[in-house]
Chains A and B, each alone.
Chain A
Amino acid sequence: MTAPDPKVETVTASDRPSVSINAPTSGWGAVGVDTPQAAGAPVMDLRDVSVFYGNYEAVRGTSMPIRQNQITAMIGPSGCGKSTILRSLNRMNDLVPGARVAGKVTYHGQDLYAKDVDPIQVRRRIGMVFQKPNPFPKSIFDNVAYGLRINGIKGNLHDQVEEALTGAALWDEVKDKLKMSGLSLSGGQQQRLCIARTIAVRPDVILMDEPCSALDPIATGKIEDLMHELAKTYTIVIVTHNMQQAARVSHYTAFFTAEVDDKQVRHGRLVEFSETGKLFTNPSDKRTEDYITGRFG
């Protein structure tokens, strides 16, 4: 990737005293970071985050960091709230009527749920790839160009589309049919198109919700390789059901599970968060060990 690192662009302190997600910015990637961050420094931080759907507390008390240029995986049984936590990281939960986030999610030290934060600005910097490939019913080119156009990103559109498609390891397969509908691609290609669409706007963090669950092993392998490549430039959070995948690609792993409280209500909880190697070889919690060794009920 020849993409300049978004993190090196700083905003002059006199213009915008605080970080600038609430203020409209010109161009892309004007993330107002006061100090350049080293790889591994926390980009995002969750402090005692609980997510409610109406009165139902789907996930309770989650605290974990998301580190710069690292891949953080979330694993755990179905329904334990992985997607819920992931969606709270770029305020996609705002779209669910009745959903509410308690606790604190910070991004470069800034509370994402503060009153004056604009969710649109948040999502510009924290992009998302969904479980089901969902290209727009537009041409391949327009799918990738869409984010560039709506965000008014300047520069040669064609070059930027090519760069994004190359970054998503799809360029060679589609370079001769950019005018064809994005829906004409195979499932794996569609998912890579969605990744291209996301990286085209050069976000800071990419959230992926089971991006390979609809794909065969070869396509999965391509996307995993791609994630390693992308982690050089971006910070990645991935939800996966596939423990081997988590072990293969991630640097950090968070293990969630669902617990029944004394009122017989199920809540998702973060059981363990640590470096992937440690979590899989030497878990400190019995439940983690049971899950990764397949003894989960």
Chain B
Amino acid sequence: MTTTVDPVTRPPAAGAPNLTRSALSVRRRVTNQVALGLIVLALFVAVIPLGLVVWSVLSRGGSVISWEFLTEDIPNSFRRSGGGVGPAVIGTLIITGMAALMAVPLGVLGAIYLNEYGKQRPLARLIRTMADIMTGVPSVVMGLFIYSAWVLLFDARTGFAGALALACLMLPVIIRSTEEMLRLVPDELRQASLALGARKWRTTLTVVLPAAISGITSGVLLAIARAAGETAPIVFVVGVTTAPNWNLFSGENTALPAQIFRNASQVFEPAQERAWGSALTLIVIVLVFTIIARIIANRFAIKER
């Protein structure tokens, strides 16, 4: 804007340095543009499948969803239209809820042990490695594990067996993500608290956890959302039902991923519709819980205790 002097022809020692972008070498300018272009391209490539998924689920499932669809029993036959996926909504809520109830406290406490107490001790390293390995275990394998360790033992498929499988899937993710978040809390805060005469558990509870709560919530939510969408372990260990079952410990149950899986593999139109509707329902449930948890976490982070 201000300088009209061409950087090449300008004499080297003539007055003020040229601070305009045009003073940069061509190579640096091109590199900058190319890098920016690649980043934007990567963003679009990443967003396209995401957008397509949301769009197709919305367009095909949106018309299916109604209060009846969310609450009514599942029809006995895939061919029959009408009815709903009420039992699967209930199943997803209580099975995932139970799984979170088991995995979140265990995972967060485990992470506190790892980062605040265990540190580099052999036991802590062992747990860390095991958690990493567990993260890589396919959900089918976890389903089969619960099937052989729990379902065969009690000879009953129940919602609780599903919750156990989901908890096993969530646990390592929660442990590792929470530990990462605790690691980000500056040591100065711990020292300040200890220097005031706080004990370690107190410091952890009232200073470290609140400082990390927002990140911990993100990790926990990701784990819960992932678990809520898991199909394989549910199909193995939960069983089948067409009527709502509020009891996790007796009787077979069902969940939305199982409904998506079973209905989508049928050729009949009503079954296809139910699959799309279930998919949208699942997405909305996860979204709603994410928002609620965020609000709670924000409250918790600002106020003490």
Contact = CB atoms under 8 A, between A and B. Distances in A.
Interface in A94-139: 95, 120-121, 123-124, 127-128, 130, 132, 134-139
A92 B195 contact: yes
A123 B190 CA distance: 13
A201 interface: yes
A186 to B, nearest CB: 18
Scoring B192, B197, B199, B211 by chain A CB atoms within 10 A of each residue's CB, the highest score goes to: B197
Given A120-B199, A142-B304, A146-B206, A136 B194 contact: no
Contacts, number: 72
B207 interface: yes
A72 interface: no
A90 interface: yes
A120 B197 contact: yes
B24 interface: no
B191 interface: yes
A147 B191 contact: no
A194 B192 contact: yes
Interface string A138-154: 11001000110011000
A22 to B, nearest CB: 14
B41 to A, nearest CB: 38
A137 B211 contact: yes
A123 B206 contact: no
Nearest to A150: B198
Given A136-B207, A138-B210, A130 B192 contact: yes
Contacts of B197: 120-121, 123-124, 147, 150-151, 201
Interface residues of B, number: 21
B302 to A, nearest CB: 8
A95 B191 contact: yes
A120 B202 CA distance: 12
A187 B211 CA distance: 20
B191 A136 contact: no
Interface in B185-224: 186, 188-199, 202, 206-207, 210-211
Given A130-B188, A150-B202, A136 B195 contact: no
A127 B196 CA distance: 6
Please indicate which of the listed interface residues A95, A128, A134 has the most CB atoms of chain B within 10 Å of its own CB: A134
Given A142-B304, A150-B206, A127 B189 contact: no
Q: Which of B192, B196, B198 has the most CB of A within 10 A?
A: B196
Interface string B170-190: 000000000000000010111
A137 B206 contact: no
A132 B188 CA distance: 8
Contacts of A128: 195
A127 B197 CA distance: 8
A250 B119 CA distance: 40
A54 B202 CA distance: 28
Contacts of A138: 210, 304
18 contacts: A90-B195, A92-B195, A95-B194, A123-B194, A124-B196, A127-B195, A127-B196, A130-B188, A134-B188, A134-B192, A137-B189, A139-B304, A146-B207, A146-B304, A151-B196, A151-B197, A197-B196, A201-B196
Interface of B: 186, 188-199, 202, 206-207, 210-211, 301-302, 304
